[in-house]
Structure 1
């Protein structure tokens, strides 16, 4: 496996392309927007989505998705809610290829994980997940981080780690596709709650407590869905939580902070040109938690604030007034 194709010319897809091109990989990136393709090929910069990051001249951008699909490994970097639609027209071309999904989220319309959507649309593809504590701007600038690459079996995951490892992006292999996806998805919702605490001015101690209990929620859901609790101790769980729940670079944390400060969802989302995936995941979790019989009070509180009109301060008060229980439950 030598060549890499990236489907999706947003900030994260471009950052991954840059990281791997700097490590000597042959790289083609597909983007829907003409201005993105032109900017990458002529100015060597994705000015619409990743401005200020000078890209390796070897990165080739294209509007022809089939030119990208000729690669040995395909990174799917489309937003989670558009993954299925992106897969349908290319399902024959990706047969028997490793498809590494780099989106974090749960499909609202079905309540399914990203690899479930992949297997329904392209059942002969080889599913994998790349997830972990990363900000696109930092990865694009060559700052170091690490990720989890999960596949159905350890051999496949380890092979993908070898193929995708970069000098500044260290991958760790896992055979727990479910746990890796639950961790990468639900952490966005916990990050919104963490941002709410920040916006309300409730302090770092309260935020640390919430994030810790959020990890317990994530682990409960992962186990209920067939994942492993220990997976959440890695990059796709604890690592991602630490990053996303503590920085204004996180779209989810910053959205929660703005809500805590009294701004409305229309005001917040109207000023953004990128997806805040935790908003969608919170909706999906409301159904998933009920179906699986999993207690997820933080996620439920976020959902109530986003979709039910519950005041942010009232939601935090309700969490504090929950019955006392033993740690680990």
Structure 2
């Protein structure tokens, strides 16, 4: 039986843990918060995933050494701001050549590393190497938890590692594709959250479907330009982890980034919006890195820069979005 440890007891980690356990995998969930583990182990439910029941066979631990020992796969599902700290804590206990899957989405502001690169960086400091695969795509936890049809991408330059993840994670309702563009896959998962903030702001201002479609489409153009400049493959951004993830994050009311943007568009401060959403808003965390990458690679990203101006209080939301409409005319 395939043994998997899931780091993180948030909605995405627990939705995947349930999916894996329900399909015959031996699953252990690790969390740094003992109260989370106690609640999950006694109620077999997650407060933010109504209607989902966790298999009784799942295990729980607050001991990271135990979580790392004897596992076929380690699944990193902590929010992006905590990936480095978790990887650092786990690194001394991770065996050489371990297969690791990361599902957190973001780019670290200080280093401009993706989440997989952060994990590799912390392992290197501990003198270890691992096979790290990014698993990303249009995947709301609320739907995966209810076994609704979903498609996702396992990305790694190591084809055997990507195929191993594909085999373990695929179920009748969860279809996994592979590609070899891990950086492009992760970049799509991070920057799409910033575009979703822009869409949410537009909706909060009362704009309609035309504006939404324009921001999604032109947002994908910005993402593609940046990715190609960084050496990623253009086709990645037309696929599940690019346009697919962008569509679901910019159109679904499950989306925390869309929700936060709508609140900001209605006049809430960034902190008020974060508090009301009640969960990590990854687009706010990814924004500084996206802006720095655009500057470093000399890529024009007006939507991302407009979101930055709004969140920094440099421009009122309506003025910033209308400024996008007033830019010089050009060929698509």
Instruction: Tell me which interval the TM-score lies in, with the shorter structure as reference length.
Output: over 0.9
Q: For structure 1, which segment, 2-11 or 58-67, has the greater mean C-alpha deviation from structure 2 after superposition?
A: 58-67
Partner of residue 18, structure 2: 18
Give the secondary-structure state (helix, strand or coil) at the position aligned to 1:81: helix
Give the secondary-structure state (helix, strand or coil) at the position aligned to 1:245: helix
Q: Distance in 1 between matches of 2:192 and 2:149?
A: 21
Partner of residue 109, structure 1: 110
Q: CA RMSD in A?
A: 1.4
Partner of residue 35, structure 2: 35
User: Which of these residues, 308, 311, 315, is aligned with residue 310 of structure 1?
Assistant: 315
Q: Distance in 1 between matches of 2:284 and 2:251?
A: 18
Aligned residues: 326
User: 5 Å matches for 1:191-210?
Assistant: 191-210=196-215
Partner of residue 59, structure 1: 58
Aligned partners of 1:148 and 1:234 also within 8 Å: no
Deviation at 1:51, TM superposition (A): 4.4
Partner of residue 284, structure 1: 289
Aligned partners of 1:44 and 1:56 also within 8 Å: yes
Q: Deviations over 1:61-96 (max 9, x none)?
A: 111222221211011011112111111122132231
Aligned partners of 2:202 and 2:265 also within 8 Å: yes
Give the secondary-structure state (helix, strand or coil) at the position aligned to 1:326: coil
Q: Distance in 1 between matches of 2:85 and 2:24?
A: 31
Deviation at 1:60, TM superposition (A): 1.1
Partner of residue 69, structure 1: 68
Give the secondary-structure state (helix, strand or coil) at the position aligned to 1:268: helix
Q: Distance in 2 between matches of 1:55 and 1:309?
A: 46
Q: Distance in 2 between matches of 1:153 and 1:219?
A: 23
Q: Distance in 1 between matches of 2:66 and 2:40?
A: 16
Deviation at 1:271, TM superposition (A): 2.4
Aligned partners of 2:8 and 2:29 also within 8 Å: yes
Partner of residue 164, structure 1: 169
Aligned partners of 2:142 and 2:254 also within 8 Å: no
Q: Distance in 1 between matches of 2:307 and 2:90?
A: 36
User: 5 Å matches for 1:170-249?
Assistant: 170-249=175-254
User: 5 Å matches for 1:263-302?
Assistant: 263-302=268-307
Aligned partners of 2:155 and 2:179 also within 8 Å: yes
Q: For structure 1, which segment, 309-318 or 52-61, has the greater mean C-alpha deviation from structure 2 after superposition?
A: 52-61
The answer to whether the aligner puts 1:250 opposite 2:251 as a matched pair is no
Structure 2 residues without counterparts, runs of 5 or longer: none
Q: Normalising to structure 2: TM-score of the pair? A: 0.94
Structure 1 residues without counterparts, runs of 5 or longer: none
Q: Normalising to structure 1: TM-score of the pair? A: 0.95
Q: For structure 1, which segment, 16-25 or 135-144, has the greater mean C-alpha deviation from structure 2 after superposition?
A: 135-144
User: Which of these residues, 101, 124, 134, is aligned with residue 139 of structure 2?
Assistant: 134
